[in-house]
Amino acid sequence: MALVSSTQMLRTAREQGYCVGAFNVHTMEMLQAVVEAACEANAPLILQTTVGTVRHLGPEYVAAIARVASEEARVPIALHLDHCHEEELIMRCIEAGYTSVMIDASMHPFAENVEMTRRVVELARERGVNVEAELGKVGGVEDDLVVDDADAALADPIECERFIELTGVNTLAPAIGTAHGIYKGEPRIDFARIEEIARRVSVPLVLHGGSGIPEEQVKRAVQLGMAKMNVATELRIAFSQAIKGVFDNNPQENDPRTYMKQAKQAVKEVALAKMEMCGCIGKANVR
């Protein structure tokens, strides 16, 4: 089937109490791996690329590969641009065929965040493209986005409610204590804050920093209203470690088809585990 907007996919997930896995991919093999996992699990899927990956590969190449994968798959697939600060790049991705975009203006004051988000919502609405935004600041590192622990700030539930009213954004990523990258210790997720935000807003909520969060914490966050979970770092680690393992065992290996096969399988296994954690297995045909 063709690539779909994630809007209805995520609304259904929130209404029915499960979460859709959103996986950051950086190569064709990583993309193929998570698509294979979704087909095997009969799960809805969101493919994601960071701004760095878009600049590295080009949005047209990414969208073309995702489109072919989606047409051959039996499950609904959306293509999402993650953490973008630039309206021009967002529009280029939409033109290329992305069905979901994130305008991240969370580093700006509330009023400026509202204004930037509202402009993107207006541009995307006529194309049927989902728009995600962030309130507060999620800590950690993703591409060139670096937020120190001291600068990370949790989202205010009242501001979240006001933000949705003022922007009309489709999905919201509130900062609730998670971080990009691998956690140094146990994540300190503010579940009471998630519950309060979910009580005040009806749009699907997004859990950023999904790599390394313990299963019981993920499931609790989903029960409280999180409908999308982003996973990036764990996929990169699995992909890279699998390739290193091939060369450790055979330093003379020079066929990419050999080591990429191992890397794909490693990514697929991580994706399947995350889909199980999210509760989205078997939900591909849920409406």
Given a cut of 50, is residue 214 above it in pLDDT? yes
Name the pLDDT band for 148 (thresholds 50, 70, 90): very low
Given a cut of 60, is residue 36 above it in pLDDT? yes
Given a cut of 90, is residue 134 above it in pLDDT? yes
What pLDDT does residue 228 have? Answer: 97
Name the pLDDT band for 209 (thresholds 50, 70, 90): confident
Condensed to tens digits (0 to 9), the pLDDT of residues 49-78 reads 999 999 999 999 999 999 999 999 999 999
What pLDDT does residue 143 have? Answer: 55
- Residue set of the binding site for dihydroxyacetone phosphate: 181, 209-211, 230-233
The secondary structure of 117-150, three-state, reads HHHHHHHHHCCCCEEEEEECECEEEECCEEECCC
Mean pLDDT for 42-48 is 98
Classify 58 in phi/psi space as left (phi over 0), alpha (psi -120 to 50) or beta: left
On the 0-12 / 13-18 / 19+ scale of CB atoms within 10 A, 262 is middle
Given a cut of 60, is residue 206 above it in pLDDT? yes
CATH topology of domain 6-278: TIM Barrel (3.20.20)
Given a cut of 70, is residue 147 above it in pLDDT? no
Condensed to tens digits (0 to 9), the pLDDT of residues 180-193 reads 555 455 677 899 99
- Contact at 8 Å (CB) between 9 and 228? no
Phi, psi of 137 (to 5 degrees): -135, 115
Mean pLDDT for 249-265 is 96
Ranges 36-45, 184-193, 274-283: which has the least confidence? 184-193
- Residue set of the binding site for Zn(2+): 83, 104, 134, 180, 208
Residues annotated catalytic, as ranges: 82
Condensed to tens digits (0 to 9), the pLDDT of residues 73-125 reads 999 999 999 999 999 999 999 999 999 999 999 989 999 999 999 999 999 99
Condensed to tens digits (0 to 9), the pLDDT of residues 261-274 reads 999 999 999 999 99
- Residue set of the binding site: 83, 104, 134, 180-181, 208-211, 230-233
Condensed to tens digits (0 to 9), the pLDDT of residues 3-23 reads 999 999 999 999 999 999 999
Average pLDDT over all residues of the chain: 92
Name the pLDDT band for 254 (thresholds 50, 70, 90): very high
What pLDDT does residue 153 have? Answer: 79
CA 112, CA 110: separation in Å to the nearest integer?
Answer: 6
